[in-house]
Amino acid sequence: MSIDELLAVNERYLAQFRHGAVPAGTSRGLAVSIVGHPAVDPHRAFGLALGDALLPRSTEPRVTAALRGDLAVAQHLGARQALHVLSTDAPNAPETTETLRADLETLRADPQLFGLDVHVGSYDVTTGRLELVTGVPAESEISAVLAANERYVAQFQPPVDVARGSRHLSVVTCMDSRINPEELLNVDLGTVTVRRNAGAHVTDEVLDGLAGDVAAHGAVDLLVLVHEDCKARPDREERLAGARADGSAAARDPRIGERAEVITGSYDVHTGRLTDLRPAHR
């Protein structure tokens, strides 16, 4: 997706944008972390509106130290409950349940997450269904997510099957609750991989994942997208400089750069506008 294409998509998004007054943090006291298979749109699948939940995402199949750190930030920003989801095409495999139970122990044992009510479950990318390994607390935000997911399953359509060699979009952005990358960029499930962390940093873990995208798809468009009013990176100039440095790091990575077009930019959560779009220096 070129800069001109991004701007054209953004103009269509601006025509229906009505979310400029949504505050930062989480209006529902909720964080939803998603790991594994990228073909999940959490806003539609879990009934989340902008502002509802903080949304760290990784394609790593297990809970990492970085993800635990993101959940700690989410708790600082108001999350009282966390739903950790393993997205997979094999939700009923014994190893899936074993992984989730181990991840639950890891999360509940982490002292920086003390007081956070953590639940875990699997999301089936072939059916759209979310199933919890932990019990469902009655009249909670977790139970509301499950009820929304039941409605989603009733009208679920499987992800687009994209042939290798078709250009794939990979997005690195912040876990801020006011960003919906799939809607903002008007992309279909199966055509995009989204990674989200506090501040939209391109870490070594993210670089490894992007290299995997290139290996899987053969050609990738990469967008590193920071945003205005970021609580994790509050200084605008430092935030933009950091995004450009991260984009350059990805463009120079020999596993990524030659087969990826890397663009950096910013998103204004108050207006819906993409700004400061530019190609990364190699």
CATH classification code of 30-154: 3.40.1050.10
pLDDT digits (tens, 9 = 90+) for 101-114: 999 999 999 999 99
User: So where are the chain's domains?
Assistant: 3-17+159-279, 30-154
* CATH topology match: 3-17+159-279 vs 30-154: yes
Longest dimension (CA), the chain: 52
In the prediction, which pLDDT does 139 show?
A: 77
CATH classification code of 3-17+159-279: 3.40.1050.10
pTM metric for this prediction = 0.94
In the prediction, which pLDDT does 251 show?
A: 95
pLDDT digits (tens, 9 = 90+) for 250-279: 999 999 988 899 999 999 999 999 999 999
d(CA 103, CA 84): 9
Residue 183 has pLDDT above 70, yes or no: yes
Q: Which residues contact 101 (CB under 8 A, 6 or more apart)?
A: 120, 133
In the prediction, which pLDDT does 165 show?
A: 47
Residue 176: how many CB atoms within 10 A of its CB?
A: 27
Lowest mean per-residue pLDDT among 34-38, 102-106, 123-127, 186-190: 186-190
Contact between 77 and 26 under an 8 Å Cβ cutoff? The reply is yes
3 state DSSP class of 69: helix
Average pLDDT over all residues of the chain = 93
d(CA 58, CA 64): 9
In the prediction, which pLDDT does 161 show?
A: 67
3 state DSSP class of 171: strand
Q: What integer is the mean pLDDT of 192-208?
A: 96
